[in-house]
Amino acid sequence: MNRSGLIAAGLRAEDVIGKSFDQTFWWSYSEPAREQLRAAMARAADGEPSRYDVQVRVAGDTLVWIDFSLNPVHDVDGRMAYIVPSGNIIHERVLAKEAVEAAKVRLDHLAHHDALTDLPNRMLFQYRLNQVIELAYRQGRQIVVMFVDLDQFKHINDSLGHAVGDKLLRSVAQCLLGCVRHSDTISRQGGDEFVLLLPSITHPEDAAICAQKILTALALPHYIDQHYLHISGSIGISIYPDDGKDGETLIKNADIAMYFAKENGRNNYKFFKQDMNDHAVQWQSIETGLRHALERQEFVLHYQPKINLKNGAIIGVEALIRWQHPERGQLTPNQFMAIAEDCGLILPMGRWVLREACLQAQSWQRAGLPPVIVAVNTSALEFRTKDFLDNIRTVLKETCLEPCYLELELTESVLMQDAGPIDAMLHTLADLGVRLSIDDFGTGYSSLSYLRQFPIGTLKVDQSFVNQMCSNPDDAAIVSAVISMGKSLKKRIIAEGIETQEQYELLLAQDCDEGQGYYFNRPLEAQEIATLLQTSSSLIAN
């Protein structure tokens, strides 16, 4: 053996002189390596040189790789006289092999895990789900798939940036891991969607308990970059084998149930039911139709008059979108707006409504009719777009409508964003001359201090309170309190959903300024509004 081989093995020359190869090294070989050595020695005995890499245990009980050669030496007669072994430590080759192996392990991990959260990705989740289904089939037991979608995550992403959004997703991933067992699997499917696999449950109630635990944990504030972020989730649940016998069906049905959870107010969970499939097909059909409705000019606007409750004069109208569906006839907003918001079509639709309403208001004025304020509903998603203010300016300029005749009806969720940017935006709109009102006031969670801070001119009492105010003392008290508070803050108060004379008289007695509802008129086409403005001085019966 040469010098480097001795050093690699931690031996001295006297340790090997006069000893056979196997006497020196046999103890340090694993059984597979011994088999390899036996074969090499047999080839060398037949006069064939042999070379191979082997891992041996050397001084200090350390394993190293050595490049061994067995070279037969022949006498003058050509007979094999003895075998000369030699060995060289192979640091570089070993390091290269280790680096390759480490790279393979890393690439394998990356191929099966989400880069952002390090949770299993779709591929690994599907593999585990298929394995669990096979086992559950043989054992006759149930498994659960949960589809979790974060509520309003896009709003956080858009307002605070993708870096904050990514940190929030990592925080949510850790939150979910803390809610499940080690045997369960959590996967990030993409975006703000997560799928959970519970491989063994005894009763469906176990899934409900887990879902509620997740909702409770998600509701706790996430502290990200000096922001306390509050988020909730909507969860859909499917159970093997009742809701599907393969992984793809279970995930799809859990996804469908999740959308039902969103439709029912978010921050809750729903178990999949078979009739949800019909609803999902209809949902998909409406989404597909919406994508063509704008270019096919299938939308129209109707206008519901806003009435001065004291004299019955029309002081404004609210623009309400209608969809003239080619097969289903006229659809009202509650049949398609939630879908439009979910798939992002609310943005082009909102811009169309704004432009069309401003054009119509200017058209009435040019026809010599009394000028009225046209109110346009503005979603939180629209309000958060970067070019929202520029679009308002552009539309007013192109339609030649004075800003004082445009009113934006905002939901309370708009006020729940960071106060600084919202305050600046609202004051810019107010300085421009655009009127601002809070729609469905009393149904949200905004701070009442915002009414003093922001330049809000009008509060709209939600129709759910107006509808029951004559029969429910609590609703009557809420309406009275909103009117009184609004008056003290010098806000205009308008009640929506007025349908009876009793409701009208009670609101008038409480000094409510304005009202709208079927008691006065249903939403009308533009020409019908023109007729009213031309012929009616009051919509209140004497």
Can you give the pLDDT at residue 175? Answer: 94
Q: 347 vs 75, which has greater pLDDT?
A: 347
Q: Report which of 184, 194, 189, 247 is spatially closest to residue 218, judged by C-alpha positions.
A: 194
Q: What is the DSSP letter of 200?
A: E
Tokens of 40: 């090499």
How far is the CA of 519 from the CAs of 498, 502, 539, 541, in angstroms? 6, 10, 9, 10
Would you state the structure tokens that stand for residue 217, as one six-digit string? 């944990």
| Both structure tokens of 271 | 């178990």
- Judged against a pLDDT cut of 90, whether residue 213 lies above it is answered with yes
Q: H-helix or E-strand containing 418?
A: none
Q: What is the mean pLDDT of the chain?
A: 85
Q: According to the model, what pLDDT value does residue 375 have?
A: 97
Low-confidence winner among 6-20, 30-44, 337-351 (lowest mean pLDDT):
6-20
Cβ atoms within 10 A of the Cβ of 420, count?
Answer: 8
Average pLDDT over residues 493-505: 94
Q: How confident is the model at residue 121 (pLDDT cuts 50, 70, 90)?
A: very high
| Angle separating helix axes 473-488 and 501-509, nearest 10 degrees | 40
* pLDDT at residue number 22: 57
| More confident: 330 or 542 | 330
In the predicted structure, residue 23 carries a pLDDT above the cut 70: no
Half-sphere exposure (Cβ direction) of 49: Cα atoms closer than 13 Å: 8
Reported as a single tens digit per residue, the pLDDT across 379-398 is: 888 888 889 999 999 999 99
Would residue 100 be called left, alpha or beta, if left means φ above 0 and alpha means ψ between -120 and 50 degrees?
alpha
- 346-366 vs 526-535: helix axis angle to the nearest 10? 30
Instruction: Give percent of the chain above pLDDT 90.
Output: 49
User: Contact at 8 Å (CB) between 139 and 204?
Assistant: no
Given a cut of 90, whether residue 188 has pLDDT beyond it is yes
pLDDT band at 516; cut points 50, 70, 90: very high
How distant, in Å, are the alpha carbons of 151, 174, 468, 489 from that of 155? 9, 21, 33, 30
Among 148-157, 337-346, 492-501, the range with the most confident prediction by mean pLDDT is 492-501
CA nearest to 251, candidates 137, 149, 129 = 129
pLDDT at position 92 is 55
Query: What pLDDT band is residue 108 in, cutting at 50, 70 and 90?
Result: confident
**Tokens representing 152?**
């309003």
Q: Return the beta strands (E) in 157-219 as ranges.
A: 185-190, 193-201
Quick check: 48 pLDDT over 80? no
Distance between CA atoms of residues 235 and 493, nearest Å: 38
Band of residue 361 on the pLDDT scale cut at 50, 70, 90: very high
pLDDT digits (tens, 9 = 90+) for 469-481: 999 999 899 899 9
Dump pLDDT digits (tens) for 66-106: 677 777 777 667 676 666 666 666 655 555 666 677 777 77
pLDDT (average), residues 133-155? 91
The winner for highest mean pLDDT among 39-43, 140-144, 152-156 is 140-144
Query: What phi and psi, each to the nearest 5 degrees, are found at residue 483?
Result: -65, -45
- Segment 450-457 mean pLDDT: 83
CA–CA dist 72, 536 (Å, integer): 119
214-267 pLDDT, tens digit each: 999 998 988 888 888 888 999 999 999 999 999 999 999 999 999 889 878 789
The model's pLDDT over 407-418, given as tens digits with 9 standing for 90+, comes to 999 987 677 665
Select from 134, 146, 149, 372 the least CA-distant residue to 239: 146
Residue 161's pLDDT is 82
74-88, 140-154, 215-229, 282-296: least confident range: 74-88
Average pLDDT over every residue of 118-139: 93
Per-residue pLDDT, 71: 75
- Top-confidence residue, 436 or 81: 436
In 386-451, where do the E strands start and end? 406-410, 435-441
pLDDT number for residue 408: 96
**Is residue 365 scored above 60 in pLDDT?**
yes
- Cα(486)–Cα(490) distance, rounded to whole angstroms? 6
For each of the domains in the chain, give its residue range(s) and CATH number, in order of start.
3-95 (3.30.450.20), 113-274 (3.30.70.270), 284-535 (3.20.20.450)
